[in-house]
Amino acid sequence: MNGADKLCQTLLGNDVDVCFANPGTSEMHFVAALDSRPEMRCILGLFEGVVTGAADGYARMAEKPAATLLHLGPGLANGLANLHNAKRAGTPMVNVVGDHATKHLSLDAPLTSDIVSLATPMSHWVHAIPDAGHVGSDTAKAIGIARTSPGQIATLILPADAAWSNVPEADRDRVYKAKTPWIEPADIEAIKNAADIIRSKKRTLIMLGGSAMRTGALATAGRISNHCNVDLLAARANARTERGAGRVTLNRLPYVVDHAVDLLAPYEHIILIGTGAPVAFFLYPDKPGELWAPGATVSELAGPHLDLTLTLDMLADELGVASTVVPDVSALIKVAAPDAGAITPASLAAAVVHSMPENAILCDESITFGHVVASLTKHAPPHDLLQLTGGSIGIGIPLALGAAIACPDRKVIALQADGSGMYTVQGLWSQVRENCNIVTVILANRRYQILHGELANVGGGPPGVNANRMFNLDNPEINWTALAKSLGMPATRVDCAAELAKELKKAVAHEGPYLIEAMI
């Protein structure tokens, strides 16, 4: 048994049985070890941004970490943007990054780089395994760190010699077990303080994020809201939100600074549960970074690492919310398929909601076009919403891939802006290879629409030659239907809302991946 075998044994022994991968020569012993353990499901991404984004989507839905297999510093670098998103999502993940054999590092071969420096900004923990004898214990430690609530990025560097050397005889049969960290609720003083604020009758908002976006926690928050007359708001983006009919479905913090400031203006107190303070996504000259009203207090009741469901239960008890108090939940509202006419945010939303099956997973990287979808899906059948948490575009296609691997019996509907989609377009191929149950709707406006808005925001005039060269994707136009087909995926282009609704219905009924290019 060599170190690579030990790594496989430890992953599988701790229920990490999916590995999103793009290996290279320095990981070849690990590949051989994976090859000898077919109970590990290896899923190839043709680019590492697909690998890490899929591991994120998988863990959000499976509620356990996947492993990734990345090739040295550059392979890790290619996956960093989606690791950034995963870190912001509170996603558990165990990255295995191969490195040169230890004694080869000083020779500065072409692929040598400082992996620790690269990994640190997008990891909670980075560790280079010193030798084969440490593979078992270090891997178990990494899994335990990944599992630390709400989920952490653990990056293990595996030198080739640690992979190929034999593990000590005595260590072979011992399966190292990872810690499952204990998750506490907020402490009772913090709960009493929050209750005092709520009882003060000053205008109070509870902002929720992280695991508070699940059905049970939201219901408790809804009961507190009704009993105490406080308002609720969701964080701008959340890793996973259970929402739709029968659930407490919240509005979220707007992206546009002025809208957010207006929304928060009335509140004298903001209580945070599982999310940070409401701050601007970007700072603009002459606009605030802190979005709350001057003089308002912002207090954290519970960070995202705590047991938020229990925290909300304790808060409800402290506030004397009777068990008879019920929350306001979303009604199920059937939406008619849109008629002929252009594909607008509203008709897109109608088409999506019209075709959404029960228990769908909605992956949202729709950027500028999708904002209406959130309000209409409030009354759609119950579903999970996965959002872009870290602002680094190019997560949508991999995220849908990972979610579909975790939940093969559920339909994934991915709303995908075209500019962002091109970042990790290779992920469509993996969706086909794994026969994932995903409908991708490409919102083809052939431009980085958000940048047109932002240039106006900073007082730029109408875009000139250079701005248009950097903002527009119209020369040449990308034919997404042909692109998807070239990667083996059935696809159709639609030009009006009625066609979109018709194709969506067909695509949802279709088993396997399907792409609809919506010309907007």
Which one among 28, 183, 319, 498 touches its own copies, defined by CB under 8 A? 28
Segment 122 to 181, residues that bind its own copies, using CB under 8 A: 122, 160-161, 164
Question: What is the rounded distance in angstroms from the CA atom of residue 66 to the CA atom of residue 35?
Answer: 17
Nearest alpha carbon to residue 385 among 369, 405, 401, 399: 399
Q: At what angle do helices 48-62 and 72-89 cross, to 10 degrees?
A: 30
Segment 74 to 103, residues that bind its own copies, using CB under 8 A: 74-75, 77-78, 80-81, 84, 88, 100-101, 103
Segment 110 to 129, residues that bind its own copies, using CB under 8 A: 110-111, 113-115, 117-118, 120-122
Question: What is the rounded distance in angstroms from the CA atom of residue 150 to the CA atom of residue 471?
Answer: 37
Contact 26, 49 (CB under 8 A): no
Nearest alpha carbon to residue 238 among 212, 218, 217, 265: 212
Contact 191, 314 (CB under 8 A): yes
Q: Is 283 exposed, middle or buried (0-12, 13-18, 19+ CB in 10 A)?
A: exposed
Q: 3-class DSSP state for residue 440?
A: strand
Q: Which residue, 77 or 183, is less far from its own copies as judged by CB?
A: 77
| Closest separation in Å from C-beta 311 to its own copies | 22
Segment 314 to 373, residues that bind its own copies, using CB under 8 A: none
x/- binding map, residues 192-231, to its own copies, per CB under 8 A?
A: ----------------------------------------
Q: Return the structure tokens found at 257.
A: 């600074």
Q: Which residue, 346 or 455, is less far from its own copies as judged by CB?
A: 455
Nearest alpha carbon to residue 298 among 273, 271, 278, 275: 271
19-24-27-28 Cα dihedral, nearest 10 degrees:
100
Stretch binding its own copies (CB under 8 A), from 349-357, 397-405, 422-430, 493-501:
422-430
Q: Return the structure tokens found at 452.
A: 């047109």
- Interstrand relation of 241-243 and 383-387 (parallel, antiparallel or unpaired): antiparallel
x/- binding map, residues 248-287, to its own copies, per CB under 8 A?
A: ----------------------------xx-xxxxx-x--
Stretch binding its own copies (CB under 8 A), from 31-39, 144-152, 294-302, 328-336:
31-39
How far is CA 151 from its chain centroid?
12
Q: Which residue, 42 or 183, is less far from its own copies as judged by CB?
A: 42
Q: Which residue, 34 or 212, is less far from its own copies as judged by CB?
A: 34
Question: What is the rounded distance in angstroms from the CA atom of residue 144 to the CA atom of residue 123?
Answer: 14
Stretch binding its own copies (CB under 8 A), from 18-26, 197-205, 348-356, 373-381:
18-26
DSSP lists the bridge partners of residue 279 as 290
Distances (CA, A) of 487 to 18, 414, 482, 491, 516: 23, 17, 9, 10, 14
x/- binding map, residues 370-399, to its own copies, per CB under 8 A?
A: -------------------xxxx-x-----
Segment 435 to 474, residues that bind its own copies, using CB under 8 A: 450-451, 454-455, 457-460, 463-467, 469-470, 473
Which one among 289, 320, 341, 357 touches its own copies, defined by CB under 8 A? 289
Stretch binding its own copies (CB under 8 A), from 72-80, 182-190, 238-246, 500-508:
72-80
Q: Does 36 bind its own copies (CB under 8 A)?
A: yes
